[in-house]
Amino acid sequence: MKLAISAALALAAFAVAPSSAEAREWQVKMLNKGADGKLMVFEPAFIAIKPGDTVKFLATNKGHNAESIAGMAPARGNSFKGKINEEIVFKPTAPGLYGYKCLPHVGMGMVGLIQVGPATNKAQAGAAAARLPGLSKKTMGALVAKAR
């Protein structure tokens, strides 16, 4: 009985102990208006995460989605496609840059970029960014430039 209590206490201590190796869930808001006043944005539009981390897209405002941009994922990377207002969770499968967009608002510059570990596909992502429509070309170009 005493042993069982000790084991339970040890487990409880382990559960609350902070661990740097623990995977983190990042959150990206889908917004009609960003903190800087820009309309139709993902916030934050650029995040650098660790392999094993996940990204959840929050439908903070309605009428948006998050989906991968063709040509903006690393070689063994995966893609995702959320429905309008869907709060999907993306779990990248390989290191590199992952570009995504909101389908209704890509022309207004509603795009974002996730860096997972090293930016292995930066040149390819930059080339794909240059082919994006409307304001997204400039917005994504600036996001790719942030990748290190």
Interface residue list for Cu ion (CB under 5 A): 64, 102, 105, 110
Q: How far apart are CA 40 and CA 18, in angstroms?
A: 36
Q: Tell me which residue has its CB nearest to Cu ion.
A: 102
By beta-carbon proximity to Cu ion, the closer residue of 45 and 64 is: 64
By beta-carbon proximity to Cu ion, the closer residue of 80 and 122 is: 80
By beta-carbon proximity to Cu ion, the closer residue of 64 and 96 is: 64
Q: How far is the CB of 7 from Cu ion (least distance, A)?
A: 50
Residues near 11 by beta carbon (within 8 Å), at least 6 away in sequence: none
Distance between the two ends of the chain, CA-based, in angstroms?
54
Q: How far is the CB of 75 from Cu ion (least distance, A)?
A: 28
Q: How far is the CB of 54 from Cu ion (least distance, A)?
A: 21
70 vs 4, 19, 60, CA distance in Å?
A: 54, 35, 25
